[in-house]
Amino acid sequence: MRAFAIIFVFLFHYFILNGGEPKWLPDVARFGWTGVDLFFVLSGFLISSQLFQEIKSENNISLKNFFLKRVFRILPAYLFTVGLYFLVPFFRERESLPPLWKFLTFTQNIGLDAENGGTFSHCWSLCVEEHFYLFLPLILMFILSAKWIKRSYLVLAFFFIFGIAVRIYCYNNFYLPHITADNSWMYWYKYIYYTTYSRLDGLLAGVLIAGLYHFYPKIWMKISSFGNWILLFGLIVLTAAYFLCEDQTTFNATVFGFPLVALGYGLLVLGAICPRSILFKWNSKVLTKIAVLSYAIYLTHKGVIHMTHQLLEKFEIDSNLMLVICMLTCLGFAQIVHSIIEKPFMKLRKRFVK
């Protein structure tokens, strides 16, 4: 699932960066923007699973261990990439960068002007995840102290309804007043697409799956035998989401598109962890390798695509071959980042984290 997410995101960004080339790619990868939503579902499931397991065994959460894990996993490769963007202009896929402090504080997605500051704009989703990493353990600790564990689903429901309400408000007050402008899309992305408060759906879906998996074993045992049917239903839901979101900036797509995408990918993740499903049994060394490199690919792929095109521009390479070359250069660059930065820091993490 992680490999699919990064491939989908890569293909979507590739044709955006290269004016729709190859010609067939936009039709195949037009829905690729949802790969980020799959990452959100996966993060919601995996991160909350760690915390839920700790709650079950310790009836508490170690904030020190949790945040140290995230620091050693996220920051080294991220700061390396930020350094590339600010110190090596040739790496930038566009000319302008938001201020450095926005990247260092993970607030780049707040008020992001993709028209005038679109370089490294894909970092917005990492900002959303960092906000999730910050608030989830604090919310869970509050629920524990208030002894609301059995009613924690009400908290999930609140944030889900909050996301719908805030998107309605932002659509009516920040997008509609500019709908006739030539750059109206910028307002939709700035106030709705990039913002944390309107992109909680995928993360909440992941948390819900983790809660079901860890705290409701009887229900989990009943549904886990229907893994393939869950996967099929997930694909049907995503098909519906595809047609609903053909124009992302419509009211229905804005308000209901994100929850529908989150539901579809949530069902795929749920099906993938069912022992009898085809995805649970599927083992691929190639996909495993791509999944391992997915974070490094995510961080660097736009810059590497840009550099590859610039370096090979004079050779007038066929667009299909160039796509393959860019795939290989992105994988190679990600492998370097993984080997010299991610792996050493993950080993170092073991010295500080239980």
For the segment 295-321, what is each residue's pLDDT rounded down to a tens digit?
999 999 999 999 999 999 999 899 999
Cα torsion through 26, 29, 31, 35, rounded to 10: -140
Q: Which amino acid is at 277?
A: S
Distance CA 339, CA 109 (A): 29
Assign 110 a pLDDT band (cuts: 50, 70, 90). very high
Instruction: Give pLDDT, residue 137.
Output: 95
Q: What is the pLDDT of residues 1-27, one digit of tens each?
A: 999 999 999 999 999 999 889 999 999
End-to-end CA distance of the chain: 28
Q: Decide: 9 and 42 in contact? Cβ < 8 Å.
A: no
Q: Decide: 292 and 234 in contact? Cβ < 8 Å.
A: no
In SS3 terms, 117-172 reads as: CCCCHHHHHHHHHHHHHHHHHHHHHHHHHCCCHHHCHHHHHHHHHHHHHHHHHHHH
Q: Decide: 204 and 266 in contact? Cβ < 8 Å.
A: no
Instruction: Give pLDDT, residue 270.
Output: 97
Instruction: Give pLDDT, residue 100.
Output: 95
Assign 248 a pLDDT band (cuts: 50, 70, 90). very high
Instruction: Give pLDDT, residue 269.
Output: 97
Name residue, tokens 């390396």.
80
Mean pLDDT of the chain: 94
**What Rg do the C-alpha atoms of the chain give, in angstroms?**
20
DSSP H helices in 190-249: 201-215, 217-223, 227-244
Distance CA 202, CA 40 (A): 5
Structure tokens at 294: 């997915």
Q: What is the pLDDT of residues 212-223, one digit of tens each?
A: 999 899 999 999
**Largest CA-CA distance found in the chain, in angstroms, rounded:** 66
Q: What is the SS3 assignment for 274?
A: coil
Domain count, the chain: 1
* pTM (2 d.p.): 0.96
* Percent of the chain topping pLDDT 70: 100
Q: Decide: 167 and 258 in contact? Cβ < 8 Å.
A: yes
Structural domain including 129 reads 2-352
Q: Please indicate whether residue 20 or residue 265 has the higher confidence score (pLDDT).
A: 265
Distance CA 326, CA 240 (A): 32
Q: Decide: 160 and 204 in contact? Cβ < 8 Å.
A: yes
